[in-house]
Amino acid sequence: MTAAVHISELPFLKMILHAAKHPECSVNGLLLSDQTLDSKIIITDYIPLFHSVLNLTPMLETALYHVDSYCTAKGLRICGYFQANEHVNSSMPTNIALKIGEKLAEKCGAICILGFKNDALYRLNGNYFTALCKSEWKWNETK
């Protein structure tokens, strides 16, 4: 079963502002939640990570360690991964995002991957993200 994804206002704004601040390059970050539900992922915060090169393993591992420590101290959990690609017409998460999602799912359980629809920076309403949730062994698009 694919979980539904709900994004609270604060992480929604943080993700859009992170992508808007660096429109010329890819950006990524981690999605956090204070709840654990099987049927719904409720995103309550967003931690921006990098802009530009997203596949630097040592930097990502260090960032994950620090975010995990922060989550433990605040009673939160990592519930997903966010990525905005550098090209305007590219909204699907990359293979790197899917691999990061796999590792997060192993450690954190139910997670989602959000791909930002970059053309959303030029409009005021509509669907801003491509959301993927893992169902058994593959990633499926969800709402």
Find the CATH number of the domain harbouring 41.
3.40.140.10
**Residue that wins the pLDDT comparison between 88 and 86:** 86
What average pLDDT does the chain have? 86
Which amino acid, one-letter code, is at 5?
V
Which phi and psi angles does 6 have, rounded to 5°? -120, 130
What is the residue range of 86's domain? 4-142
The domain tally of the chain equals 1
**Does residue 1 have a pLDDT over 60?**
no
**Span 115-123, mean pLDDT?**
80
Q: Is 31 helix (H, G, I), strand (E, B) or coil?
A: strand
Enumerate residues 6+ apart whose C-beta is below 8 A from 101.
Answer: 80, 81, 93, 111, 113, 132, 134, 139
Q: What is the pLDDT of residue 2?
A: 64
For residues 44 and 133, which has the higher predicted lDDT (pLDDT)?
A: 44
pLDDT band at 124 (very low <50, low <70, confident <90, very high): low
pTM of the model: 0.88
pLDDT at 127 > cutoff 90 = no
